[in-house]
Structures are given as structure tokens and as C-alpha cells.
């Protein structure tokens, strides 16, 4: 049995759509996707496991920061502008 359901809003039963809209606090547009997930949460790590996880995360961030230092400000800005233009149709740089 699946733990994830994805439907277009127009496909939902009226009572299901009403329940989702009540939880969201707004109306759904017919072309919106609605996803519902069911999963068991777990407690956050404590003690030594938490310390080890924090250290691994800190090491990861340091490694990523080190890679960013190899890129010039101009190249980083150009990459950002390219990404914005790709995901936001009609985007124009500030002048």
C-alpha cells in the first residue's frame, strides 16, 4: 500500500477537497496538485549520536564553503542570474 497520494484538485471528492481547503485555509485551484503523505516520525538523536551528527554536518558545511571560495564573485553572480532566468519566466536583472 502506498504512503503517498498525489491528485489534481479537480479530481478530489467534494468532501476531501473541502477538508484540504479547510486545513490550508484557502481555496484550491483546479490545476493544483495535492499530495498527502503518511509516515512515522522518529525522535531526534540525543547524546553521542547527536554530537556525531552535528560534527558530520559541520564538516559538510566547511567542505561546501571551501568549494565556494574557488568561484569568483562574478561567476557566482552570473550563475545565480542564469538560474533565476531559467526558473522565473520574465525575470529581469535590477538595473
Locate the domains of the chain by residue range. 4-37, 47-87
Instruction: Give helix then strand counts, H and E, for the chain.
Output: 3, 2
SS3 4: strand
Whether the Cβ atoms of residue 92 and residue 85 lie closer than 8 Å to each other: no
pLDDT tens, 39-77? 998 899 999 999 999 999 999 999 998 888 888 989 989
Burial 67-87 (b: 16+ CB within 10 A, else e): eeeeeeeeeeeeeeeeeeeee
Mean pLDDT of the chain: 91
pLDDT value at 94 more than 70 = no
Amino acid at each position: 500500500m502506498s504512503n503517498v497520494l498525489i491528485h489534481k484538485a479537480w479530481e478530489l471528492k467534494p468532501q476531501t477537497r473541502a477538508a484540504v481547503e479547510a486545513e490550508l485555509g484557502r481555496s484550491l485551484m483546479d490545476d493544483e496538485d495535492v499530495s498527502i503523505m503518511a509516515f512515522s516520525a522518529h525522535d531526534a538523536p540525543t547524546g553521542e549520536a547527536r554530537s556525531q551528527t552535528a560534527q558530520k554536518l559541520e564538516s559538510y558545511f566547511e567542505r561546501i564553503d571551501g568549494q565556494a571560495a574557488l568561484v569568483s564573485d562574478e561567476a557566482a553572480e552570473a550563475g545565480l542570474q542564469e538560474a533565476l532566468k531559467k526558473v522565473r519566466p520574465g525575470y529581469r536583472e535590477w538595473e
